[in-house]
Every structure is written in structure tokens, then in C-alpha cells.
């Protein structure tokens, strides 16, 4: 190995050790640590984030990286150098160490305060943290610079090369082509499910311990590897990893809402399979993660929605639910077909993660517009009380409903508490990517026949070979083009939604 590359990789391994420790502490805080532990843990994390930063942000490391002749490297090492230059010296180095540490500490504390604020519907205890996080992000945009809209800098963190211009066009198409169908369905008096059955299902209580058993069984069906992964519970479901042999996911359980945990588990399982399938060769390098959040969300949402909410998969899942919950559905007159309708009901709802497929992109459109407005003027101080009202206003404008609590409004997502501005559009892009990916898979294997039998091996293999294994060695655009033979085309997504929900309704 090139001696300079050997030294660079040793330094990156040292940084990875600090980052693993940070990941573990964050995981512990989200899943098991007592509330009173946060103060000490935040100080520890402040220190570790500073050490991680200093490992690569120094003149010696920069000189070493830029002294490497990329022409004399193999393709993988060349991509590693390019990734270091972009993520370390074009992004991180522009943020002063003290700001980096302080910001890391704030988002850690803010995430725990958010959890309490959401559960207590208490925006007052959280809003000052939100204000600080927004101001830091504005400061970081100024330090890092931007091209076009200021928000582009944050978008690039989650979907490389994505811009406001492209997203405006995408969301305009989503809004204009889906809104008429949404309005037609929600205003229609036609009932696709007997109201008594619907009420009966909503009133059922599903034992939490048995829901945990079902979630594990679902992950087994999906071929999630429990030798290299784990499932826990958190307020807001998420996936994290420390290489392809330590992938951790969480879900959340509600006694009166079985479908919530079912689909949170499937969603996070899709993320986890992506990480578990990255090849060993790149897993422990700077390229050893999903290439973008849009591609990552395409995997979680193809499993959750296109596979998991299909009539065929639910006919497979129905007897498993019956077995775990002692025949609770059939005893209450709910059939597998009823379960399919319940999993695909279109309704104007407040909570994004509970939203049906058809209205889901409208939830993302709302967040996208709010974030774009927040960062349209970097010198203007954001009034967080007005922001909460703006959230409610947009729900009223686009979905005809107004959240009566903060918990159903601005407090429902953890993303802003975690500083993840620019992330939300990835959910809609991921959904759109997934439709184009689905079309390609279906040309190689009959997806619905596979799902009818709960068989994911062939589907997983196609996704692994075309997307997962590459980690960050391919860009999002390369992934889509190489797999599907075409550039990204949102019409696959629009056609899928219109076709599916026109058939149901």
C-alpha cells in the first residue's frame, strides 16, 4: 500500500474509534440511559466530538491528504481521498472547533428535552434549543458558503448535488398531480371499509410484549441478521451503525396502534439491510455508509410501503399476527383484506410517520417549505413562536386540518432537535426513487409472488448487488442510472400512487 495512504487510513481509524464511542453514547441516551444521566453524558460527548474533530482537522493531516497523487491510487483509495477532501476540508474544517463541540452538545441535550416536550406537549421548554440550533446552522452556512439558495448547503449534506431548483420542480409536480386525487378521496362519501370494523380495529389493545415478538419475527422474515444487529425501543424510531457488523434499529410501540410498530420496524429494517449489505472491503472506511439519505430512504420506504403495505405481504402477515395475538383480528371480524385497507387508508392526519402513502409527500412538502423559508435569510432571527404557527398554517393550507397541540405539530419530529435541517426532502425523494427501483426489480423477479410467500431472499439480493454493496463509492445519480438504465424520473412514483389508490378507492 502507498505509505501515505497507509498513514491516512490509520488516522481515519483513530477518528472512527472516537465516532464509535459517540454513536454508542447517543444510542444509550436514546434507548436506556436515565434522564438524569444527560448532563454528564453531554460533557463526555463534548470532549469526544472535539477529539474526533482534531484528529482530522489539522495542518499535518491536510498536507498529507493533498500531497497524495490520486493518479497513482486504485479506484477505492482515490474515492476515499476525494471523500476526505469534500467532507473534512470543504465542510468540517470551515467550522471552528469550539462551535463544532458546542453544537454537538446542544443537539444532544435538545434531543432529550424534545422527548420530554413532546410527551408533555410543552413547547416552552424546547423552543430556545430550537432557536439556538437554527442560528448555528445559519452560521455554518455562512462559514461553508453556498451556491444559489442558502438552503442548498444543508440539502447537499443529505442528498449530494440536490438543489432548491430541482426540489421546487419535484414538489410542484407532486402537489399538482396528487392533490386532486387526495381531495377526491377525502371528500368522497364512499367507504372502502365498514365503519364498525374500522372502529373495532382502532379500539383493540395489542399487548406491547407481543408486539415486540411480532417485530422480531418481521425482521427475521426480511432477513435482518441478528448476529450483526439489534432491535430496541425509542421515542422516535431510528437506525444507527458502526460498520456492517453492528447495525442497530429502534421502533416504538403503542398499545392501541399495532400498525405503527409494524411499519416503523419494517421501515428501519430497510435502512438496516442497506448497512448490513455493504461489502467488508469498504464497510470500515469513510465510504462505508449509504450514499445519500435519499437512496437510504428509498430502501426503508420500498420495504415499508411498496412491499410491506401490499395486499400480498399482508395476506402473508395476517396469520402471523393472529398467532402472536391469539386470533385477535378474526375474533373481531377483521379479515386479511380489511387489514390491507386499514394499512392503506387515506386520511388527512397530523403525524408524518403515521401518514398514508398518498398524503405522505404533502407532509414532507410542508417541512421543505418551512426549512426553505427559515434559511432564505441568514441574517434574520427566527421567531420560534411564529414558526410553530407557520407549521399549523401550512397543515391547514395543504391538508385542511390544524393541529390543536404542539405534539401533533412542530414537536412531532425529532429531526430539528437533532439539527437535521435538509434531511426531510430525502423522504419524498426516497419514496420517488423506490418506485423506479421497484419497476426494475419486478422485471427480474415477480415481486408480488415473492411477497405472497414472505420471501425476500431474491429481492434482497437484487438490492444488495445494485445498491447496498457499493456504500458511498457510487453517487445517488449513478446508483439510479446504473440500476434502472434511466435518469431519475418521478413519474414512476406519481403513476404508482395514482394507480394504487384509484384501485383501492
Residues acting as catalytic residues? 268
- Asked if 436 and 493 count as a contact pair (C-beta separation under 8 A), the reply is yes
First to last CA, the chain: 61
CA distances to 146, 283, 392, 472 from 143, rounded to whole Å, are: 9, 31, 32, 25
**3-class SS shares of the chain: helix, strand, coil, % to 5:** 65, 5, 30
Q: Which residues contact 71 (CB under 8 A, 6 or more apart)?
A: none
Residue with cell 444509550: 28
Handedness of CA 161, 430, 408, 213 (dihedral sign): negative
Identify which of 272, 263, 451, 446 has the alpha carbon closest to the alpha carbon of residue 357. Answer: 263
Q: What is the DSSP letter of 88?
A: I
- DSSP letters along 136-179, please? HHHHHHHHH--SSSTTHHHHHHHSTT--HHHHHHHHHHHHHHHH
Angle between helices 491-504 and 164-187 (to 10 degrees): 10
R_g (Cα) of the chain, nearest Å: 23
Residue with cell 397530523: 350
Helix, strand, or coil here: 230? Answer: strand
CA atoms within 13 A on the CB side of 313: 21
CA pair distance 317, 458, nearest whole angstrom = 19
Residue with cell 421501515: 267
CA pair distance 132, 126, nearest whole angstrom = 10
Could you list the beta-strand ranges (E) of 380-434: none
Q: Which residues contact 220 (CB under 8 A, 6 or more apart)?
A: 226
CA pair distance 124, 114, nearest whole angstrom = 10
Angle between helices 75-84 and 3-31 (to 10 degrees): 60
Q: What is the DSSP letter of 381?
A: P
Q: What is the DSSP letter of 248?
A: E
Residue with cell 418521478: 490
- Asked if 117 and 126 count as a contact pair (C-beta separation under 8 A), the reply is yes
Alpha helices per DSSP H over 280-335: 280-283, 293-301, 311-324, 328-331
Question: Counting every residue, how long is the chain?
Answer: 505
Amino acid at each position: 500500500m502507498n505509505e501515505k495512504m497507509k498513514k491516512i487510513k490509520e488516522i481515519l481509524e483513530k477518528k472512527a474509534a472516537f465516532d464509535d464511542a459517540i454513536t454508542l453514547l447517543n444510542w444509550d441516551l436514546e434507548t436506556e440511559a436515565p434522564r438524569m444521566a444527560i448532563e454528564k453524558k453531554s460533557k463526555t460527548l463534548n470532549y469526544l466530538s472535539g477529539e474526533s474533530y482534531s484528529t482530522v482537522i489539522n495542518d499535518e493531516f491536510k498536507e498529507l491528504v493533498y500531497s497524495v497523487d490520486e493518479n497513482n491510487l486504485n479506484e477505492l483509495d482515490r474515492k476515499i481521498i476525494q471523500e476526505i477532501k469534500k467532507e473534512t476540508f470543504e465542510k468540517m474544517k470551515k467550522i471552528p472547533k469550539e462551535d463544532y463541540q458546542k453544537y454537538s452538545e446542544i443537539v444532544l441535550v435538545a434531543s432529550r428535552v424534545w422527548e420530554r416536550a413532546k410527551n408533555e406537549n410543552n413547547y416552552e421548554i424546547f423552543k430556545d434549543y430550537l432557536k439556538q440550533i437554527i442560528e448555528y446552522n445559519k452560521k455554518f452556512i455562512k462559514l461553508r458558503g453556498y451556491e444559489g439558495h442558502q438552503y442548498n448547503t444543508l440539502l447537499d449534506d443529505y442528498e449530494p448535488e440536490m438543489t432548491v431548483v430541482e426540489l421546487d420542480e419535484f414538489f410542484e409536480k407532486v402537489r399538482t398531480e396528487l392533490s386532486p386525487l387526495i381531495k377526491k378521496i377525502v371528500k368522497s362519501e364512499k367507504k372502502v371499509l365498514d365503519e364498525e370494523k374500522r372502529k373495532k380495529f382502532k379500539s383493540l389493545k395489542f399487548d406491547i410484549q407481543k408486539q415486540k415478538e411480532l417485530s422480531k419475527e418481521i425482521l427475521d422474515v426480511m432477513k435482518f441478521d441478528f448476529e450483526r444487529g439489534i432491535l430496541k425501543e425509542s421515542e422516535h424510531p431510528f437506525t444507527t451503525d458502526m460498520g456492517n457488523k453492528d447495525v442497530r434499529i429502534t421502533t416504538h410501540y403503542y398499545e392501541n396502534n399495532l400498525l405503527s410498530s409494524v411499519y416503523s420496524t419494517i421501515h428501519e429494517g430497510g435502512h438496516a439491510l442497506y448497512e448490513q449489505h455493504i461489502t467488508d472491503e469498504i464497510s470500515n472506511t469513510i465510504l462505508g455508509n449509504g450514499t445519500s439519505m435519499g437512496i437510504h430512504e428509498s430502501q426503508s420506504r420500498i420495504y415499508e410501503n411498496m412491499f410491506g403495505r401490499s395486499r400480498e405481504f399482508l395476506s402473508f402477515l395476517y396469520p402471523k399476527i393472529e398467532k402472536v395475538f391469539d386470533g385477535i383480528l378474526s375474533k373481531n371480524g377483521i379479515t386479511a383484506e380489511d387489514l390491507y385497507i386499514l394499512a392503506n387508508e387515506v386520511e388527512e392526519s397530523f403525524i408524518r410517520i403515521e401518514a398514508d402513502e398518498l398524503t405522505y409527500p404533502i407532509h414532507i412538502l410542508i417541512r421543505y417549505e418551512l426549512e426553505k423559508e427559515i434559511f432564505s435569510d441568514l441574517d434574520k432571527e427566527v421567531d420560534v413562536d411564529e414558526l410553530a404557527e407557520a407549521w399549523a398554517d401550512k397543515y391547514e393550507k395543504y391538508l385542511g386540518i390544524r393541529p390543536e397541540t404542539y405534539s401533533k405539530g412542530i414537536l412531532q419530529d425529532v429531526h430539528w432537535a437533532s439539527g437535521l435541517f435538509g434531511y426531510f426532502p430525502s423522504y419524498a425523494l426516497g419514496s420517488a426513487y423506490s418506485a423506479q427501483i421497484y419497476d426494475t426489480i419486478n422485471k427480474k423477479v415477480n415481486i408480488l409472488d415473492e411477497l405472497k410467500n414472505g420471501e425476500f431472499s431474491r429481492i434482497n439480493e437484487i438490492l444488495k448487488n445494485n445498491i447496498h454493496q457499493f456504500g458511498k463509492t457510487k453517487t445517488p445519480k449513478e446508483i439510479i442510472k446504473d440500476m434502472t438504465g434511466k435518469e431519475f424520473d418521478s413519474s414512476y412514483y406519481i403513476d404508482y400512487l395514482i394507480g394504487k389508490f384509484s384501485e383501492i378507492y
